Amino acid sequence: MTAKQRTFPSPIVDPDTEQFWSAAKNGQLMVGNCNSCNEKHFYPRGICPHCGTQDVTLIEASGKGEIYSWSVLRRADPPFAIAYITLDEGPTMMTNIIECDLDALAIGQRVKLKFSETEEADGPPVPTFVLD
């Protein structure tokens, strides 16, 4: 375990992503879902990146997934693990693996969602993950 955890800059919320970050404040991780082609996408946005229609909504993800790739930035203070997680729902997203042994990460490890508070008092939390 690393004693010190990095702090997270607050994400900038815009009209396109307000719903996503509101849901995050309620502890929900949302992914984009297209009602036209039925494909999911991440990050969420106002247009389906797969078929190009605007018939997109947010649906809640289970918060479970596995490590697609990872790297520990040893030069940071404190060092931290960035990762791409493939959610069980399909899309792969960028995140940090927190509260973990930085020397024992591996592709394919199962992870689960744990939101992390961000630096600004009213900033929404960001979706980080712990080993499952």
Partner 1 sequence: MSINGKAYIAGVFEHPTRKATDKSLAQLHAESALGALKDAGLTKDDVDGYFCAGDAPGLGPLSLVDYMGLKLKHIDATETGGSSYVLHVGHAAEAIAMGKCSVALITLAGRPRAEGMATGTAPRNYGSSAPDVAFEFPFGPTVVNMYAMCAQRHMYEYGTTSEQLAWIKVAASHHAQYNEHAMLKNVVTVDEVVNSPMIADPLHRLDCCVISDGGGAIIVTSPEIAKTLKRPLVKVIGAGEAPKHQMGGKIDLTYSGAVWSGPMAFEEAHVKPKDIKYASIYDSFTITVLMQLEDLGFCEKGKGGAFVSDGNLIAGTGKLPFNTDGGGLCNNHPANRGGLTKVIEAVRQLRGEAHPNVQVQNCDLALAHGTGGSLGTRHGSATVIMERE
Q: Please pick, from the candidates 66, 84, 114, 131, the single residue that binds partner 1 as defined by CB under 8 A.
A: 84
Plot region of 54 (φ>0 → left; ψ -120 to 50 → alpha; else → beta): alpha
Closest of 21, 16, 131 to residue 85, by C-alpha: 131
Q: Please pick, from the candidates 22, 82, 114, 131, the single residue that binds partner 1 as defined by CB under 8 A.
A: 82
Indicate whether 94 belongs to the interface with partner 1 (CB under 8 A).
yes
Beta-carbon contacts of 6 under 8 Å, excluding residues fewer than 6 positions away, are 76, 78, 80, 96
Q: Please pick, from the candidates 30, 33, 63, 91, the single residue that binds partner 1 as defined by CB under 8 A.
A: 91
Q: Cα–Cα distance between 90 and 37 in angstroms, integer?
A: 14
CB of 27 to partner 1, least distance (A): 17
DSSP reduced 3-state for 3: coil
Contact characters 37-76, partner 1, x per CB under 8 A? --xxxxx-x--xxx-----------------xxxxxxxxx
- Return residues touching partner 1 (CB under 8 A): 6, 8-14, 16-17, 21, 31-32, 39-43, 45, 48-50, 68-76, 80, 82-84, 90-96, 107, 118, 126, 128
